[in-house]
Chain A
Amino acid sequence: MDQQSLRDLESRCIQEEPAPCRAACPLHVDARAFCGRVAAGDWPGAWQVLRRGMPLPAILGRICDAPCQASCKRDEAGGTIRIGALERACVQTPAPAPPRTMRLPARGGSVAVCGSGLSGLTAARDLALKGYAVELFEPGTVLGAPLLEAFDARRLPPAVVDDEIAALTPLLKAVHLGARLSQTETIEELGHHFDALYLDLAAVGTPTRDRHLWADDESSAMTRGILGGGDTPSPVLQAAQGRWAATTIDRRLQKVSITAGREGEGAGPTRLFVSLAQIEPSPPVAMADAAAGYTAAEAVAEAGRCIQCQCLECVKVCAYLERFGSYPRQYARQIYNNAAIVMGARQANRLINSCRLCGLCTEICPEDFPMADLCLQSRRDMVARGKMPPSAHEFALLDMQFSLGERFALARHAPGSNHSVHLFFPGCQLCASAPAQVAPVYSHLRRVLDAPVGLMLGCCGAPAHWAGREALYQEVRADWRLQWEAMGRPEVVLACATCLEMFRDHLPEVPARSLWHVWAQSPLPELAAPPPEAPLAIHDPCTTRHTPAVQDAVRHVLNRCHIPFEELELGRRRTECCGYGGLMQNANPQLAQEIVRRRAARSPSDYLAYCAVCRDNLAAVGKRTIHLLDLFFPSGEHPDPAGRPRPGWSRRRENRQRLRRDLLADLWRERSPDLTPHPDIHLHVAPAAAQRLETRRILIEDLQEVIHQAETSGQVLEHPDTGRLRASARIGHVTFWVEYAPAEEGGYTVFNAYSHRMEVAR
Chain B
Amino acid sequence: MIQEGFASPEDLRWKCRRCRVHLELAPVTVTYLDQEFSADLPRCPVCGLVLISEDLALGKMAEVEQILEDK
Contact = CB atoms under 8 A, between A and B. Distances in A.
Interface of A: 344-347, 349, 389-392, 714-721, 725-726, 728, 735, 737, 752, 754-761
B65 A758 contact: yes
Instruction: Please give me the 5 A-B residue pairs with the lowest Cβ-Cβ distance, nearest first.
Output: A389-B69, A761-B29, A756-B57, A718-B17, A758-B32
B66 to A, nearest CB: 8
Given A758-B64, A760-B50, A719 B30 contact: no
Interface in B5-64: 13-18, 23, 28-33, 36, 41, 47, 49-52, 54, 56-58, 61-62, 64
Contacts of B49: 715, 717
Contacts of A725: 17
A719 B14 contact: yes
B4 interface: no
Contacts of A752: 54
Contacts of A756: 52, 56-58, 61-62, 65
A125 B18 CA distance: 89
A735 B17 contact: no
Given A346-B70, A728-B52, A717 B14 contact: yes
A759 B32 contact: yes
Nearest to B37: A758
A389 B69 CA distance: 5
A760 B17 contact: no
A635 to B, nearest CB: 35
Given A717-B16, A756-B57, A389 B36 contact: no
A346 B68 CA distance: 10
A754 B71 contact: no
B30 A390 contact: no
B18 A716 contact: yes
20 contacts: A346-B71, A349-B69, A714-B18, A717-B16, A717-B23, A718-B15, A718-B17, A719-B13, A719-B14, A728-B52, A737-B52, A737-B57, A752-B54, A754-B54, A754-B57, A755-B57, A757-B32, A758-B31, A760-B50, A761-B31
Nearest to B51: A717
Contacts of A718: 14-17
A635 B30 CA distance: 48
A737 B18 CA distance: 18
A761 B18 contact: no
B32 to A, nearest CB: 4
Nearest to B55: A754
Contacts of A720: 13, 15
A758 B61 contact: yes
A761 B27 CA distance: 11
B14 A759 contact: no
A757 B56 CA distance: 12
B56 to A, nearest CB: 8
A719 B30 CA distance: 24
Contacts of B30: 758-761
Given A344-B71, A345-B71, A389-B70, 18 more contacts: A346-B70, A389-B69, A392-B69, A714-B17, A716-B16, A717-B15, A718-B17, A726-B14, A728-B52, A737-B52, A754-B57, A756-B52, A758-B64, A759-B30, A760-B28, A760-B30, A760-B41, A760-B50
A349 B70 contact: yes
A390 B14 contact: no
A735 B52 contact: yes
A445 B41 CA distance: 60
Contacts of B16: 716-718
Nearest to A735: B52
Contacts of A390: 33, 69
A420 B29 CA distance: 57
A390 B65 CA distance: 10
Among B23, B36, B47, B54, which residue has the most Cβ atoms of chain A within 10 A?
Answer: B54
A737 B54 contact: yes
A481 B30 CA distance: 43
Nearest to A721: B13
Contacts of B36: 761
B67 to A, nearest CB: 7
A716 B15 CA distance: 9
Contacts of A757: 32, 65
Contacts of B66: 389
Nearest to A343: B71
B26 to A, nearest CB: 12
Contacts of A759: 30-32
Give the residue among A345, A717, A735, A755 with the most B Cβ atoms within 10 A: A717
Contacts of B67: 345
Contacts of A755: 57
Q: Determine which residue in A719, A721, A752, A761 has the highest number of CB atoms from chain B within 10 A of its CB, and name it.
A: A761
Contacts of A719: 13-15
B33 to A, nearest CB: 8
A754 B65 contact: no
A94 to B, nearest CB: 51
Contacts of A761: 28-31, 36
A392 B71 CA distance: 14
Contact of A760 (B14, B18, B52): B52
Nearest to A755: B57
B52 A715 contact: no
Select the residue from B32, B36, B52 with max chain A CB neighbours within 10 A: B52
A753 to B, nearest CB: 9
Nearest to B36: A761
A471 to B, nearest CB: 20
Contacts of A737: 52, 54, 57
A140 B57 CA distance: 83
A735 B32 CA distance: 12
A710 B35 CA distance: 27
B47 to A, nearest CB: 7
Contacts of A726: 14, 51
Most buried by A among B29, B36, B57, B58: B57
A392 B29 CA distance: 25
A54 to B, nearest CB: 46
